[in-house]
A and B are shown apart, each in its own frame.
Chain A
Amino acid sequence: MIGKDREREDPEVGGAGMADIAFLLLIFFLLVTTIDVDTGIGLQLPPAPDENQEPPPIKTRNMMKILVNSAGQVMMGTGETQPTPITQVKQKLKDFVTNRGQDPSLSDSPDKAIVSIKTQRETPYKVYINMLDEVMGAYAELRNQASQQQFGVPYGQLDDNSEEKQTVQDTYPKKISIAEPNQ
């Protein structure tokens, strides 16, 4: 009798409810997912200073000093720094990098050109980012130019880790140093 009852029972598990459960989970993950991409200005910090080692000597003409002071003014120049409107930072930097030894007060060659950034404690963060944006913009434009000239495509279209990209990067290496803060 009992065995007969068992035989009548449907041995299959209902699969129709599975879709509902999956939908529920799907909606949950849809809601919690944030697809937005992080964007920002990337920078490589210099390693911690070694006390036993003197910094290598750099010719003044090869070092563009950019100082953002506490009032939010940008001072830049190779020898003496002069107040510069933030809109001119990009042009001045491009002149400096692409000088190739012509003007004795500007850099010898693009791969020797170094940008040194100095700030003060009261420097507004916004001004600093605007300045850094201009510096990155200058290098982006130069690399784009070099890429167009040599390969006929914009810099952004070169493949990552490709030889072409490396060549352009070597033409205009981004040498940005952060000056030691005053104590």
Chain B
Amino acid sequence: MGHFEKKSAKTSQDVPTSAMPDVVFMLLIFFMVTTVLREVTLQVQVDFTQAENIEKIEQKRLVSYIYVGPEKLSGNKLGATKIQIDDSIIEDVSAVRQLMYDKLREEPRLIVSLRVHDEAEFGKVTDIQQELREAGTLRINYSTKQEQPGG
């Protein structure tokens, strides 16, 4: 018994911490690389629809979002259905064409993700789709959440 005590007392109790900054820096670099900083502030209400047969978009950098939903007004009220691209509300649907065309020229593999409020009417989406076809951005994605089994 005494023998064991003696042995453990001799060993250093300190964990070497000199490599800690390296580990932390590595984690830091990982998070810096994976972070997509720019998130838009939503000016329209979007509740996602759910679907079962969905696919993942692996390359977030290729994605450009179009939000469609009732406009958020002051006092938790909702207005008419509007289209939002980046940070601004688009009043005129035909502006979508030029915006998307410019984006396509920057990124030829562009995927347009349509984030549409689940109770919206499809007419607005049809208009957008027609503009997208004119702009040449043909890869689209209807953003949906995974449907919960039995839900």
Contact = CB atoms under 8 A, between A and B. Distances in A.
Interface string B27-52: 11001101111010000000001011
Interface stretch (B8-16, B84-92, B139-147): B139-147
Interface residues of B, number: 52
Q: How large is the interface on A (under 10, 10 to 19, 20 to 34, 35 or more residues)?
A: 35 or more
B60 interface: yes
User: What secondary structure prevails in chain A residues at the interface with B?
Assistant: mixed
Contacts of B142: 40-41, 43, 129, 132
Interface of A: 15, 18-19, 22-23, 25-26, 29-30, 32-35, 37-49, 68, 119-126, 128-130, 132-133, 136-137, 140, 178, 181
Given A43-B142, A132-B51, A133-B52, 17 more contacts: A19-B20, A19-B24, A25-B28, A32-B37, A38-B56, A38-B113, A38-B141, A39-B56, A40-B113, A42-B111, A43-B140, A46-B133, A47-B138, A48-B133, A126-B119, A133-B53, A136-B53
Interface of B: 20-21, 24-25, 27-28, 31-32, 34-37, 39, 49, 51-58, 60, 63, 111, 113, 116-123, 125-126, 129-130, 132-134, 136-146
A-B CB proximity, top 10 nearest: A121-B123, A29-B31, A123-B122, A133-B51, A136-B53, A40-B143, A40-B141, A38-B57, A19-B21, A22-B24
